[in-house]
Amino acid sequence: MNHRNRVLVTGGAGFLGSHLCERLLAEDSEVLCVDNYFTGSRDNIAAMLSNPNFETLRHDITFPLYVEVDQIYNLGCPASPIHYQFDPVQTTKVSVHGAINMLGLAKRLQAPILQASTSEVYGDPEMHPQTEDYWGNVNPIGLRACYDEGKRCAETLFFDYRRQHGMPIKIARIFNTYGPRMLVDDGRVMSAFMVHALRGEPLTVYGDGGQTRSFCYVDDMIDGLVKLMNTPHEVTGPINLGNTREITILELAGKIIRLTGSKSDIIHKELPKDDPRRRRPDITKAGDILGWVPSTTLETGIEKTIDFFDRLLNTEHISPLSSPGY
């Protein structure tokens, strides 16, 4: 029987996951969104609930999951440092047990599975820009290790399932991505700076602000993820996905103050331990293999995201919770 492409998205109620679900529905797939709502929200998926091709399941992927699907995107894992450090043992569990369960599911179904890996596998990189063959510089016992090492172990599991069971795996190493639907209290730099600027509060730059990041707009990232999923069996990655425009955090603060028209000041706070000093992807592989290059400029992406936070802060109820909850 012919049926629509049935796609499982873990973490589907999160920032990237909800945009991915929307894209897949627009491409006429059936989408099963699995999420435990740790950092995701029902608001993110509210507009999709009336679509008969969309289904949600509240489930923690550290426990087994038996469903029937054709493709699996594994995004379930908190991504912001304040959220993944809130319950670090759970972060490692979701990265490792979650990956094992989703790989077990993919193995039973012989379905392609894409892992949302991260530039954090490179740690505080000694090679710049970062290419996929760089093995990274990660402190295995630091505050970021629950996430960094969890994601590194997940990559190991993906490759071992490939070698042992011939599985169709795809690994995307996602660099800093931003856009509408990041949480107001997410703590990541883009959302933090925009919310502070719009509220007229000081922007908190950690350290001297000389550290760099390269920011990719969400629509470009979703294009890359979908392209990677739809590659032939022999394409496994890891493939870097991100924008190559590198900017210091201090410059970013100034840019966001300008673009919001805010009168906020910049204040400095202590740099968190193990904070990577610089990060920029080499995306040659993504260009060659996927024909993918991000097309949204930093200014356009920032303006769209400011617009989202502006509307949110003016019109919607904001959760009084400052820490995530189940």
Residue 178, number of CB atoms within 10 A of its CB: 24
Which listed option, ligand NAD, ligand UDP, none, makes contact with residue 264 (CB within 5 to 8 Å by class)?
none
Per annotation, catalytic residue among 73, 122, 147, 161: 147
Which listed option, ligand NAD, ligand UDP, none, makes contact with residue 81 (CB within 5 to 8 Å by class)?
ligand UDP
Does 296 sit near ligand NAD (CB under 6 A)?
A: no
| Binding-site member from 115, 176, 260, 262 for ligand UDP (CB under 6 A) | 176
Q: In the annotation, is 66 catalytic? A: no
Task: Select 105 or 226, whichever has its Cβ closest to ligand UDP.
Answer: 105
**What DSSP character marks residue 142?**
S
Residue 319, number of CB atoms within 10 A of its CB: 13
Task: Select 47 or 267, whichever has its Cβ closest to ligand UDP.
Answer: 267
Does 145 sit near ligand UDP (CB under 6 A)?
A: no
- Cβ 71 to ligand UDP, closest distance in Å? 14
Cα–Cα distance measured from residue 317 to residue 326, given in angstroms and rounded to the nearest whole number: 19
Of the candidate spans 51-59, 184-192, 296-304, 311-319, the one that interacts with ligand UDP by CB under 6 A turns out to be: 184-192
| Binding-site member from 5, 93, 104, 254 for ligand UDP (CB under 6 A) | 104
What would you report as the CA-atom Rg of the chain, rounded to the nearest whole angstrom?
19
Residue 8, number of CB atoms within 10 A of its CB: 28
Does 22 sit near ligand NAD (CB under 6 A)?
A: no
Which pair of tokens denotes residue 180?
């509408």
Which listed option, ligand UDP, ligand NAD, none, makes contact with residue 107 (CB within 5 to 8 Å by class)?
ligand UDP
Are 11 and 20 in contact by the 8 Å Cβ rule? The answer is no
Cα–Cα distance measured from residue 55 to residue 4, given in angstroms and rounded to the nearest whole number: 14
Are 231 and 290 in contact by the 8 Å Cβ rule? The answer is yes
In 3D space, the residue among 298, 132, 292 whose CA is nearest the CA of residue 223 turns out to be 292
Does 174 sit near ligand NAD (CB under 6 A)?
A: yes
Are 32 and 57 in contact by the 8 Å Cβ rule? The answer is yes
Cα–Cα distance measured from residue 66 to residue 56, given in angstroms and rounded to the nearest whole number: 14
Does 100 sit near ligand UDP (CB under 6 A)?
A: yes
The catalytic residue positions are: 147
Q: What does the binding site for ligand NAD look like in residue numbers (CB under 6 A)? A: 10-11, 13-17, 34-40, 60-62, 75-79, 94, 98, 116, 118, 174, 176-177
